[in-house]
Amino acid sequence: MQERLDGKPEDTPKQKLLNWIRSKLPQSMPLTNFTSDWNDGDALGALVSALLPGDFPKWKQWTPANALENTQIAMQIAEDRLGIVPLNIQFFE
């Protein structure tokens, strides 16, 4: 592991991605991992909304009970509007 100039260890690529995603999400939405924090679709909805400012505010009205539907909607919008195709879960393990 490399060190930064301040002597602290360099973040891993996974940590760098998590930090970038955090920078796009509302501060009220703490994100600490790539597993349980994504279960209800809210984080994905917030990220898609951040990448399409003003075009996807409906994610704020989502309920955790509709987690699968929330995730599917966000993934479909990401693919249709941003050209981002879904990733395989093994990418994050």
Domain that holds residue 46: 33-92
Classify the C-alpha dihedral 13-91-31-83 as positive or negative: positive
3-state percent helix, strand, coil for the chain, nearest multiple of 5: 55, 0, 40
Q: What is the pLDDT of residues 40-81, one digit of tens each?
A: 999 999 999 999 998 888 889 999 999 999 999 999 999 999
* Residue 60 within a domain: yes
Rounded CA-CA distance 90/93 in Å is: 5
For residue 13, what is the enclosing H or E element?
Answer: helix 13-24
Residue 63 lies in a domain: yes
Number of domains in the chain: 1
pLDDT for residue 3 is more than 80:
no
In a domain, 45, yes or no: yes
Q: Is residue 49 part of a domain?
A: yes
Handedness of CA 73, 78, 81, 84 (dihedral sign): negative
Residue with tokens 């195709």: 85
What pLDDT, in 10s, does the model give residues 13-39?
999 999 999 999 999 998 999 999 999
The Cα–Cα gap between 40 and 51 comes to: 19
Report the CATH number at residue 79.
1.10.418.10
